[in-house]
Amino acid sequence: MKDYLDVQEAKNVYVKLLVKVAVEMEAKCPNYPAVIFGLDNGRKNALDIMTDGLKEAIRKQNVANVMTRKKELRL
C-alpha cells in the first residue's frame, strides 16, 4: 500500500496533501471516522433523548395543571 501511495504522491500533489490531512486527523482525533460514519445513529439517539425528555416535561406540566385545576374546583 505504501508503494502505491508513494507512486500516486509522485504523480499528483493533491494525493500527498490528502494523505497528510488524513494522517493528521487520525493523530489528533482517532475516532473521527467512527464519528462521521456513525453520525446518523448519533443524531437519532440525540433526537430520542430530546423527545423523551420533552414528553416527560409535557407530562409533568399536564399533571401540575390538573392538580391546580382540581384545587380551584375543590375536588
Placement of cell 482517532 in the chain: 30
By the 8 A CB rule, do 75 and 67 touch?
no
Largest CA distance in the chain: 86
pLDDT (tens, 9 = 90+) of the chain, 75 residues, equals: 778 777 877 777 777 777 788 788 777 777 666 666 566 666 676 677 677 777 777 778 888 888 888 888 887
- Spatial separation of the C-alpha atoms in residues 35 and 39, rounded to whole Å: 6
Are the C-beta atoms of 27 and 21 separated by less than 8 Å?
A: no
Q: What pLDDT is stored for residue 17 in this prediction?
A: 79
Give CA–CA dist 45/39, Å, rounded.
10
